[in-house]
Amino acid sequence: MGGGGVSQLLEQIHMLSRRCLFRVLSMGPLPIHLAFIMDGNRRFAKKRGLEDGSGHKAGFSALMTMLQYCYELGVKYVTIYAFSIDNFRRKPEEVQSLMDLMLVKIKSLLDKESIVHQYGIRVYFIGNLGLLNKQVRAAAEEVMKATAENSRVVLLVCVAYNSTDEILQAVKRSCADKDVERERERVRLVDIEENMQMSVAPEPDILIRSSGETRLSNFLLWQTGHCQLFSPDALWPEIGLRHLVWAILNFQRSHSYLEKKKKKKQL
């Protein structure tokens, strides 16, 4: 009884100190859009000697915590790289277990107690959804429909996604848009951008990839031309508040320089 009270008190203190920290951070410029590559789940499971699927489960709880911090801080858009088209090339058992986990977690987003209702999140599923199995696809579309009215904050989940695939789909759609009969219709930059699935959000300000790898792995190539890249060494389930704070401090350091350049168009 006493133990529960103490832990609740500690949680309250933690939340209060976090709020203070975020107040201080918001004195400087804050990113509007954060993107995460959630790398290192399998290495985490191996490190801890756990069975194969539990790395991804730990990764999911780390994701929920990170989303909570982002929305508390005031970040409006969060994009996560959940599953790449390249990941389909993994062993079939692993792909299947990932699909099963995703189905469970996507459905859980519709629960009353989920983070979606807590923060009024609008959820988008970005990617070649036709490559997913019927149940996962149906669940994803259900969540998108159910959250379509939310407007406070946005979560973009990239599943069955490849940036090169996104660009190619946008080109194909632009080709289909243009009337074949019309003579001088040429594809413009704005046509491609409008047809990109990620056009529902502005370009990300910071891209965080956990586990220390510094690669984009075919994620948001078009959108990260001027994005700040941050690669903490922590594996994804180990990611915490300090990494987020450090990323934002780095962002704030170069932000004024970048804004000046953008204004003078000197970038």
Partner 1 sequence: MLSLLSIVLTFLSLVIMPCLFVSWRLLVPLSITNIRRFIKTAASQSNNREESGTTGEKEKGGKMPKHVAIILDGNRRWAEKRGLGPSQGQEAGARTVMENVKDYFSMGINTVSLFAFSTENWGRPGDEVNYIMDMFEKLVKSEMSNLRRYGVKVSVIGKRTNIRESLLDLIREAEEATKNNKEKHLIVALDYSGKFDILQACKSLAEKAKNGLINVEDIDENLMDKELMTSCSEFPNPDLLIRTSGEQRISNFYLWQSAYTELYFPSVLWPDFGGTEYLEALDWYQKRQRRFGRRV
Residue from 41, 174, 197, 210 touching partner 1 (CB under 8 A): that is 174
- Alpha carbons 174 and 192: distance in angstroms, whole number: 6
Residue 253 binds to partner 1 (criterion: CB under 8 A)? no
Strands, sheet with 77-84, edge to edge from the N-terminal-most edge strand: 121-126, 153-161, 77-84, 33-37, 206-209, 228-230
16: burial class by Cβ within 10 Å (0-12, 13-18, 19+)? exposed
User: Could you give the C-alpha distances from 94 to 43, 56, 131, 239, in angstroms and in order?
Assistant: 14, 11, 16, 23
Residue 178 within binding range of partner 1, rule CB under 8 A: yes
d(CA 73, CA 258): 22
Q: Which is nearer to partner 1, 65 or 87 (CB)?
A: 87
Residue 39 annotated as catalytic: yes
The strand pairing partners of 123, in sequence order, are 155
Applying CB under 8 A, which of residues 168, 199, 240, 256 lies at the interface with partner 1? Answer: 168
Binders of partner 1 among residues 218 to 237 (CB under 8 A) are 218, 221-222, 224-231
Binds partner 1 by CB under 8 A, chosen from 54, 68, 87, 108: 87
Q: Distance between CA atoms of 256 and 267, rounded to whole angstroms? A: 13
- Taking CB under 8 A as the criterion, the residue among 48, 152, 172, 242 binding partner 1 is 172
Q: Kindly state whether residue 84 participates in binding partner 1, applying the rule CB under 8 A.
A: yes
**Residues annotated as part of the active site:** 39
Footprint on this chain of partner 1 (rule: CB under 8 A): 42, 84-87, 89-91, 94, 163-164, 167-168, 170-172, 174-176, 178, 180, 186-187, 189, 192, 213-218, 221-222, 224-231, 254, 264-267
